[in-house]
């Protein structure tokens, strides 16, 4: 039986990925299971290197380990190496190969929303592994201006430099948001309980020029990014669409079967 999974910290136990993938495998008569792996930060290398010995076909990797797993892999796909983050690991003949399906999943999500990023302004908030994939896609699509907002000035500048984006401070968001039609939240905060500071910043933005607000998180009942979008009549999408799109691509890497995004969206509905 094929064994798949997701590696994270305690957030692995809250992920919708296991229910989604297991529903897809049941529907298609695929003998397999997808399980969450809660891993401590100091054991990430041990966990990754132990995957082949456990007979695991592959895993997804999510916050906060998309970058820290990379030194423990034998090979990286072209996209994963270019982006500098891994969200999918395949075990092939004892070798660990890292992929990034977040980028393609994000591009698929933009396509689903009917948003063409070329020559349109975009702001990405956050500087983690997911932000790397988003910025890479937007740069390739020709988004202009492409702005990256983060708390840590040094990390923000370094990441922006890798994709020829402009680094800005969170304090600059009110002044610069008018240049963007797309706002992407790539932080882990979408509710006031997670970040009162970011909630206050979002509520004070004049987002009248925004056409699409895309939050990579999901499952927040008081999502301040959604409130921002509604206030300014922009389209809002949470992270479930991107989750389904990247999951489809990860599953194809592991199994060679492209089942299409609708199967994975149906799997998410079964879990709701």
Q: Which residues of 92-127 are buried (b: 16+ CB within 10 A; e: fewer)?
A: eeeebbbbbbbbbbbbbbbeebebebeebbbbbbbb
The secondary structure element, H or E, covering residue 86 is none
The secondary structure element, H or E, covering residue 84 is none
Question: Which residues participate in catalysis according to the annotation?
Answer: 66
CA separation for the pair 239, 219 (Å, rounded): 9
Contact 54, 3 (CB under 8 A): yes
H helices of 60-124, where? 78-83, 102-113
């Amino acid at each position: 039986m094929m064994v798949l999974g997701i590696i994270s910290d305690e957030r692995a136990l809250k992920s919708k990925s296991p229910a989604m993938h297991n529903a897809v495998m049941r529907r298609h008569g695929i003998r397999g299971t997808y399980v969450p792996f809660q891993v401590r930060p100091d054991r990430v290398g041990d966990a990754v290197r132990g995957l082949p010995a456990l007979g695991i076909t592959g895993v997804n990797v999510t916050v906060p380990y998309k970058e820290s797993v990379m030194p423990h892999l034998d090979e990286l796909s072209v996209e994963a190496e270019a982006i500098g983050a891994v969200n999918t690991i395949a075990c092939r003949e004892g070798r660990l190969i890292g992929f990034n399906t977040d980028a393609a999943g994000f591009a698929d999500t933009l396509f689903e929303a009917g948003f063409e990023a070329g020559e349109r302004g975009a702001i990405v908030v956050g500087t983690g592994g997911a932000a790397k994939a988003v910025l890479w896609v937007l740069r390739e699509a020709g988004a202009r201006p492409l702005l990256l907002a983060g708390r840590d000035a040094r990390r923000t500048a370094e990441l922006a430099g890798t994709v020829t984006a402009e680094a800005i401070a969170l304090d600059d968001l009110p002044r610069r948001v008018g240049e963007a039609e797309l706002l992407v939240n790539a932080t882990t905060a979408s509710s006031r309980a997670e970040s009162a500071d970011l909630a206050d910043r979002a509520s004070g933005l004049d987002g009248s020029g925004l056409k699409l607000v895309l939050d990579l998180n999901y499952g927040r009942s008081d999502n301040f990014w959604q409130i921002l979008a509604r206030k300014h009549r922009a389209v809002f999408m949470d992270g479930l669409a991107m989750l389904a799109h990247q999951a489809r691509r990860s599953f194809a890497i592991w199994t060679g079967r492209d089942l299409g995004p609708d199967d994975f969206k149906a799997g998410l509905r079964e879990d709701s």
